[in-house]
Structure 1
Amino acid sequence: MDNIREIVNGSQLKGFINKKVSITGFVTDKAPNGMWFDLRAADDEIVRISLKRPLDKPLEGYVEVHGTSSGKGVMADEFIIFNNETFDAKAHNTLCTLLYTVPNIWNTS
């Protein structure tokens, strides 16, 4: 069960401090030393992504980050670079909102 994580947008990070999260957004800035990058999450919040090792390849466009929430940012365990620019941030933000506002969303009975 180590792979369980909450799907969140930028404003929801503070509700998951020290918990595993997944956040998706568009890369907006990178540290010169490669130890962090900023992304614009699906709700337009800017989130700082801290890395355990410096980036070793170019990073741009949309990425999905898996890591631990600090409330304002994420300490990344891994990230996935999307191969296209057609990510629907508005729909993803709606998903993030529904996951935490609809009671028992996974209940099928």
Structure 2
Amino acid sequence: APGTMMIHLALDDLPDWRAGAELRQFAYVHLSPSLDQMSRTYQQAMAGMLPDEPVLVVGQPTAIDPSRAPQGTPVLWIQVRMLPAEIAGDAAAKIAPAH
């Protein structure tokens, strides 16, 4: 099964999303150029390859529940989704073997 890498952040403010200010109201924002790319990323991870374009999921829990952090300090997490459990290579063929 594919894995996930996650980063947690404490912020002074939520991001200013280029796609629109209304995204500040959502708990989850998926970042990918297309649904087709999301599918390719999953297929690459299942084949043991580091995806050529990772899919990111951003969680903004304090956007819908401010009690999840101290007042005035929103939290945010970023998941790099669909990474291979065991890495066999990289889909973009840019990572060289270690020497």
TM-score (norm 1): 0.24
> Which structure shows the higher helix fraction?
2
> Which structure shows the higher strand fraction?
1
TM-score (norm 2): 0.25
